[in-house]
């Protein structure tokens, strides 16, 4: 199952949204660079390629690199 989430980075006034698996969501909301994170809706469609891209983005975000996750997100 996938979740569309709305989030905001520290020191950033813009909100973004992206799609995460449950495990990705659990890890994402614990990142120190994320100050707000909420589930907007559940999503059932298949998104294996997106899932791989998001895994890489989360790995980079752990090291305070927001660039890849921003590419996979949309402004809200």
Lowest-confidence region among 11-15, 43-47, 72-76: 43-47
pLDDT score recorded for residue 76: 53
Where does residue 62 fall: left (phi above 0), alpha (psi -120 to 50 degrees), or beta otherwise?
A: alpha
Entry field: residues in the chain: 76
DSSP 2-43: EEEEEEEETT----EEEEEEHHHHHHHTT-TTEEEEEEEEEE
* pLDDT, tens digit, 9 for 90 and up, residues 17-49: 998 888 899 999 999 999 999 998 776 565 667
Task: Answer yes or no: pTM beyond 0.85.
Answer: no
Tell me the C-alpha distance between 36 and 29, whole Å.
8
């Amino acid at each position: 199952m996938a979740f569309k989430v709305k989030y905001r980075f520290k020191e950033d006034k813009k909100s973004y949204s992206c799609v995460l698996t449950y495990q990705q969501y659990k890890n994402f909301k614990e990142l120190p660079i994320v100050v707000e994170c909420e589930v907007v809706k559940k999503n059932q469609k298949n998104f294996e390629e997106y899932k791989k891209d998001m895994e890489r983005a989360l790995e980079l975000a752990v090291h305070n690199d927001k660039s890849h996750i921003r590419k996979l997100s949309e402004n809200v």
